[in-house]
Structure 1
Amino acid sequence: MEKKKRLKNARYITGFDGVRTLAVIGVILYHLVPSSLQGGYLGVPIFFVVSGYLITDLLNQEWQQNNKIDVLGFYVRRVRRLYPALLAMLVTTIAYITLFQKELLTNIKEIFASNLLYVYNWFQVLHKESYFDHFGTPSPFTHLWSLSIEGQYYLFWPIIVALLVVFLKQKQRIFNLIFILAFISALLMAFLYKTGSDPSRVYYGTDTRMFSILLGSALSFIWPSSALKKEISNKGRIVLDALGVSSLAAIILVFFTMSDQSSLVYRGGMFFFSVLVMIFVATVAHPGADMNKLMTNPLFTWIGKRSYGIYLYQFPIMVFYESKIQSIGSHPWRNALIEIAMILIVSDLSYRFLERPLQRFDYKQTFKAIKAAFTGGAKNSRQKVTVITGLVVIGIAAFGMVVVPQATATGSNDLQANISKNAKTAEKKNATALKKASSSESKKTDSSKKASSAKKESKVPVEKQSPTALTKAEAQKASNVYATAIGDSVLADGTDLLQDALPHMYVDAKVGRQVYNAADDIKALDAQGKLQDNVLVGLGTNSPFTTEQFDEVMDAIGSKRQVYWINVHVPTRRWEGPVNSMLESQKKKYSNLHIIDWHAYSKNNTDWFYDDNVHPDPDGSKYYATYIARELIKNM
């Protein structure tokens, strides 16, 4: 009876399942094939706008019908809808990593608790976790930041709606106020965003992301679903359909074009995208328009109803699958299809056997149901197996939360130790390289002459060359090479031997460095007089990048310098192919760009690398340093 009274004038808008489908497809493909759908992360603002609209619409209806909002009842309904699947995902994921990937158990109690309390996004901010550093061992919980923002919204919004209705009364005033608050949130995102830095703080923050939910909430006050009439004029229908189709087309276009590293995203782009979504949602909600029909079909309905589970399970499945498959980069689409199938199967099982049943389950009968499973004989054998399996999984997860590993995998420790050692030795070698380079200006210019003369000199026979050490003749040529190297952890891993082979090379290598923040670092090196005429670049390991970001790096280096860019060997990541293809294509644009094909040279030699199959181990570093030194000598 309560449900009928509370939802007396409500209608189920089937097209919203289609909108959710659009959102979840964007998010999934962004994670699986980022080079093909670089703006798919904007599926999350779509979820936010829809959620803000629907929740506020229902709260408004409740106020109109009952002259009050049952806040406690609202909380109970949200918990019953969202907690079972979230809790199941957390427990099963923790159980899995307890058994198979113990290195992911670090901070697991805090991760578990912060997700249940819906504050995980702030945990990520405080721990400086990057959403955009895709390399290393990704957390299977990274994506849950958005659920925390929604959870915080659910906690306060019913109370805020009641206060707004009581004190402002007029819906237009309420709309104006909420829209202003949304705009302030977007301004805060723009203010806190720093060009060339990791944007994770503004990406995760409730304060900087709330505008999407607020826009949906504002819409519900001037566009309540229960007040929209099916009978409208032809002109009105045409206007709504035109707005709906054009906003949908714009949303899809942005999915394909707006990179998560573009400054435009954080300086108004995401806000205006959310406004587009608000317009689109308004047209889908209106029964007199045709957009609801357009977004309603069996496939969209099936996916839309399971979109919560799909979103929940996508990241754990991707992380676990990709940790076992070493050829992700070689077959990105094949692996993507396998992962999509796994996500759909798991989310369907969650929807059928967890989300729907537990939404109606009387939790007061929990112990009675468990007892019945063990005392009902053969007829309850399936329930008994289910209960036992659940208890075992819970037990494993509980054990994992208590027994936290003292250290990460051995290979990871060895790599970190090697990078730390190299960083210390690089300081001394860099000082020597700078001293040699600055001893005379003529020496600096003479270096390019000597290096370029290498082509004219007779080459050392291939059979006398060692793949792990330069010959005496090559070492002599290498001693005349003056260069600056800038790169990420792969370069940092090979710095020591590389500087042994090229003693006049200054190296600036940082773990986690991305192409999008390299331009500022290069400009700083130039201002300090550390950027020489030959520049070696080792970037692209951590994520794909746009041509605009590549252009920024090349512009920072300048057209008068020769650039030697080492392409990437990242078979465990799907951007390996797109990054290397993009680097090759840029040679046509930049005459001073030379690609060092480390990928082709190393791809069939897994024994050269640590367990991650990306960073060369001590033996592999010999091949890395020798090959790069040889390529520099050959091309200068």
Structure 2
Amino acid sequence: MKTENNNYGKQKNYIQGIDGIRAFSVLMVVAYHLKLPFAKGGLLGVTIFFVISGFLITRILLPEIARTKTIDFKNFWIRRLRRLLPAILTMVTALIFVSAIFNRVLFTKTCSDVLSVILGYNNWWQIFNDVSYFENAGAPSPLTHCWSLAIEAQFYLIYPLLLIFLAKFRNRKRNTILITFILALISIVLMWALFDPSKDPSRVYYGTDTRVFSLLIGALLALISEDGKVNSEKTTHYWDVIGVVLFVGLLYMMVMIDGYSSFLYRGGQAIASIMTALIIFSVMSENSIFGRVMGIFPLKWIGDRSYSIYLWHYPIILLISGGKKSSWWIILVEVLLTGVVSAISYQLIETPVRHGIIKKNIDIIKAHPRTRGERRRQIRTIRRSIKTVFVITIIGITAIVCIAFVPREKSLNDIEKLQVQAQKAKKLTEQKTSSTNEKTTNQDASKDATVAYQTDEEILESLNLLLIGDSIALGATDEFYAAFPNSICDAAVSRYTTESFAIYGSYVNEKGWNGDGVIFALGSNGLLYDSLGTLREMLGADRPFFIITARAPYASWEESNNKEIYEFAEATDNTYLIDWYKASEGHSEYFVGDETHLTDEGCKAYIDCIRAAVLQVYKK
């Protein structure tokens, strides 16, 4: 993850404790993407990086603005591009070659995201990119994590302009602090207001306007501490204690709070940002013991390479394990490979370019040598530069050819068939809804008296169940109606768990449904939030409630959703488990390429799993 380091290591006011904060943050992000159990909220590491970036970049700009009332944007952006682009281009190029050979699905997703990553608008590309649900199935794009780099790039473009504008007025510092605070507050409110758990949270999670408050909070810290007056010797140790407590609090949030929790969107991210700013303030004093501990060599080594680690870890994880939960030895391979590749990138690409090797070589080539030694040095530099440019050109052309001509492949090859199936299932459900409600009244009177003498098929035929599902259940609609001819399957693509309330309410209040039980077949597209408890209450105590566990190995919420389902079914009366996760374990033949949606054999097994659980209840 990118945080501005510039030449702080050579400056007197270099803050060594930031290296440790950065190191812990990137490690938690990596752990989150590895699906390690102690990093449920590891994506907060990105929030911490935003604060650090906002602080450091503002801290770099303020002295120049104080002296000149302006910013040398040419020099500023040359430094930013030298810091950002070489590593990104190297990572993207390597990813194109490797994925084209070993994983065409990831290659296809990489190609669609390349331009947005290089030009710094990947976050908005992910928000507005009109790609169907089925095309997005399976592992995410290996460039998805670059959304945060895009937000930083946009901040670097806009915020310096604001600083220059405010520098034209009297009371520059006071006005800048006030405006920055107001903008941060607006951003926090926007995240709170725009977040809706019943909808895709991408707009809130990736939006520059809804995430920039973390960078602005970092900028506020830089503005407040602009005069260089930080903790005195008397207060340093008090701030050490505060910093340690807040740091432990941040780690607690990353360990215990799920990364998609409503709390994070409704104040949690802002709290984490403020805590980070206070932690940075606590280590700013040269006398800070906490700062010295956070600056020890192992943490500094990781912190210096945090940008490289952030860039490389996600493509490596997706290429090796697809982002699914893996065995310990695969995780070890992914971690070691990330460390090695990041170290090479940092040493051979980022550091030389950041220190101006390109300009130095150009100056040597353009110089007029005065001695034979200088002439030999110039010739060596020219030869080396020609070879380097030739190799880079060949690699670049080859990468472009790969993008243009290597065949693409999607997780779901038969997307059109799935979409047609969705339309067919919708019409069939509408027909079933009207016909099923008419039959229910006639069947209710005799059902209880005869159930003991019915066969399994007769029991299932007599039931009027309502299945509320997503695209997994949608694919098995025909099989569902074959097993439950008088029940209803209301399933749709990309349906969120909290949509179940309105769906159930519409059946009861508008369509007059008064059936025998509800099957909850959601949980693959997002967190459960309060869906289970709310829907259970809406059903009433007497109506059976069946809950299907999720099989979505690429989703970060699969494990937490299933855990909640197990616990809820165990603890709640008249609530029953349909364990599709367990029933499908080890059966790759049940799934298409995304390992979530069902093959014909998978549809049959899915309905058999439901059938067995329902019979077990109604035979009693």
- TM bucket, shorter chain: 0.7 to 0.9
Which residue identity lines up with residue 197 of structure 1 in the other structure? Answer: K
Which residue identity lines up with residue 174 of structure 1 in the other structure? Answer: T
Cα distance change on mapping 1:8 and 1:262 into 2, 3 Å: closer
Could you tell me how far 1:105 is from its partner in structure 2?
A: 5.1
Q: Aligned residue for 2:308?
A: 309
Structure 1: runs of 5 or more not aligned: 459-472
Query: For 1:498-509, what aligned pairs fall within 5 Å after superposition?
Result: 498-509=480-491
Partner Cα separation in structure 1 for residue 73 and residue 399 of structure 2: 33
* Alignment deviations for residues 222-263 of structure 1 (CA, whole Å, 9 cap, x no partner): 113x71367522xx1243123212221221222133334333
Q: Aligned residue for 1:359?
A: 354
Answering whether residue 491 of structure 2 is matched by residue 495 of structure 1, we say no
Could you tell me how far 1:601 is from its partner in structure 2?
A: 3.1
Deviates more, 1:173-182 or 1:79-88: 173-182
Partner Cα separation in structure 2 for residue 506 and residue 584 of structure 1: 25
Answering whether residue 334 of structure 2 is matched by residue 339 of structure 1, we say yes
Which residue identity lines up with residue 598 of structure 1 in the other structure? Answer: W
Give yes or no for contact 1:567–1:597 (8 Å, CA) kept in 2. yes
Cα distance change on mapping 1:135 and 1:549 into 2, 3 Å: farther
Q: Give the alignment partner of residue 477 of structure 1, picking from 437, 447, 459.
A: 459
Could you tell me how far 1:299 is from its partner in structure 2?
A: 1.7
Q: Aligned residue for 2:550?
A: 568
Cα distance change on mapping 1:603 and 1:109 into 2, 3 Å: closer
Deviates more, 1:122-131 or 1:278-287: 122-131
Give yes or no for contact 2:86–2:353 (8 Å, CA) kept in 1. yes
Q: Aligned residue for 1:278?
A: 277
Cα distance change on mapping 1:582 and 1:230 into 2, 3 Å: closer
Could you tell me how far 1:270 is from its partner in structure 2?
A: 1.6
Cα distance change on mapping 1:612 and 1:267 into 2, 3 Å: closer
Query: For 1:205-604, what aligned pairs fall within 5 Å after superposition?
Result: 205-224=207-226, 227-228=228-229, 231-233=232-234, 236-323=235-322, 328-329=324-325, 331-363=326-358, 365=361, 393-403=395-405, 405=407, 408-409=409-410, 412-414=412-414, 416-439=415-438, 442-443=441-442, 445-446=444-445, 449=448, 456-457=452-453, 473-515=455-497, 517-529=499-511, 530=513, 532-542=515-525, 545=527, 548-570=530-552, 579-604=561-586
Query: For 1:64-75, what aligned pairs fall within 5 Å after superposition?
Result: 64-65=66-67, 68-75=70-77
Which residue identity lines up with residue 252 of structure 1 in the other structure? Answer: L
Q: Give the secondary-structure state (helix, strand or coil) at the position aligned to 2:476.
A: helix
Which residue identity lines up with residue 193 of structure 2 in the other structure? Answer: F
Which residue identity lines up with residue 349 of structure 2 in the other structure? Answer: L
Q: Give the alignment partner of residue 200 of structure 2, picking from 179, 185, 198.
A: 198
Q: Aligned residue for 1:96?
A: 98
Partner Cα separation in structure 2 for residue 192 and residue 243 of structure 1: 33
Q: Give the secondary-structure state (helix, strand or coil) at the position aligned to 1:535.
A: strand
Give yes or no for contact 2:440–2:464 (8 Å, CA) kept in 1. no
Give yes or no for contact 2:97–2:399 (8 Å, CA) kept in 1. yes
Q: Give the secondary-structure state (helix, strand or coil) at the position aligned to 2:398.
A: helix
Q: Aligned residue for 2:31?
A: 29
Partner Cα separation in structure 1 for residue 591 and residue 364 of structure 2: 55
Give yes or no for contact 1:489–1:509 (8 Å, CA) kept in 2. yes
Task: Report the TM-score when normalising by structure 2.
Answer: 0.86
Give yes or no for contact 2:239–2:282 (8 Å, CA) kept in 1. yes
Partner Cα separation in structure 1 for residue 70 and residue 460 of structure 2: 80
Answering whether residue 164 of structure 2 is matched by residue 162 of structure 1, we say yes
Could you tell me how far 1:80 is from its partner in structure 2?
A: 0.9
Deviates more, 1:263-272 or 1:178-187: 263-272
Partner Cα separation in structure 1 for residue 503 and residue 9 of structure 2: 57
Partner Cα separation in structure 2 for residue 7 and residue 619 of structure 1: 60
Cα distance change on mapping 1:516 and 1:310 into 2, 3 Å: farther
Which residue identity lines up with residue 32 of structure 2 in the other structure? Answer: Y
Give yes or no for contact 1:52–1:216 (8 Å, CA) kept in 2. yes
Q: Aligned residue for 1:12?
A: 14
Task: Report the TM-score when normalising by structure 1.
Answer: 0.84
Could you tell me how far 1:39 is from its partner in structure 2?
A: 1.8
Could you tell me how far 1:424 is from its partner in structure 2?
A: 3.2
Q: Give the secondary-structure state (helix, strand or coil) at the position aligned to 1:491.
A: helix
Give yes or no for contact 2:549–2:580 (8 Å, CA) kept in 1. yes
Q: Give the secondary-structure state (helix, strand or coil) at the position aligned to 1:40.
A: coil
Give yes or no for contact 1:478–1:501 (8 Å, CA) kept in 2. yes
* Alignment deviations for residues 49-78 of structure 1 (CA, whole Å, 9 cap, x no partner): 111111111111223455643221111111
Could you tell me how far 1:106 is from its partner in structure 2?
A: 5.0
* Alignment deviations for residues 480-499 of structure 1 (CA, whole Å, 9 cap, x no partner): 12111122222112111111
Give yes or no for contact 1:261–1:516 (8 Å, CA) kept in 2. no
Could you tell me how far 1:474 is from its partner in structure 2?
A: 3.0
Partner Cα separation in structure 2 for residue 563 and residue 396 of structure 1: 57
Aligned-residue Cα RMSD (Å) equals 3.7
Which residue identity lines up with residue 568 of structure 1 in the other structure? Answer: A
Q: Aligned residue for 1:117?
A: 119
Which residue identity lines up with residue 332 of structure 2 in the other structure? Answer: L
Partner Cα separation in structure 2 for residue 548 and residue 349 of structure 1: 46
Could you tell me how far 1:579 is from its partner in structure 2?
A: 4.3
Q: Aligned residue for 1:189?
A: 191
Deviates more, 1:437-446 or 1:263-272: 437-446
Which residue identity lines up with residue 309 of structure 1 in the other structure? Answer: S
Q: Aligned residue for 1:464?
A: none
Partner Cα separation in structure 2 for residue 589 and residue 5 of structure 1: 58
Partner Cα separation in structure 2 for residue 440 and residue 309 of structure 1: 64
Partner Cα separation in structure 1 for residue 6 and residue 123 of structure 2: 36
Cα distance change on mapping 1:518 and 1:243 into 2, 3 Å: farther
Could you tell me how far 1:172 is from its partner in structure 2?
A: 3.2
Could you tell me how far 1:632 is from its partner in structure 2?
A: 1.6
Give yes or no for contact 2:82–2:353 (8 Å, CA) kept in 1. yes
Cα distance change on mapping 1:230 and 1:257 into 2, 3 Å: closer
Partner Cα separation in structure 2 for residue 243 and residue 30 of structure 1: 26
Cα distance change on mapping 1:291 and 1:445 into 2, 3 Å: farther
Could you tell me how far 1:211 is from its partner in structure 2?
A: 0.8
Deviates more, 1:355-364 or 1:343-352: 355-364
Could you tell me how far 1:294 is from its partner in structure 2?
A: 3.0
Could you tell me how far 1:518 is from its partner in structure 2?
A: 4.1
| Identity between Structure 1 and Structure 2 (%) | 30
Cα distance change on mapping 1:286 and 1:260 into 2, 3 Å: same
Which residue identity lines up with residue 471 of structure 2 in the other structure? Answer: S
Give yes or no for contact 1:447–1:482 (8 Å, CA) kept in 2. no
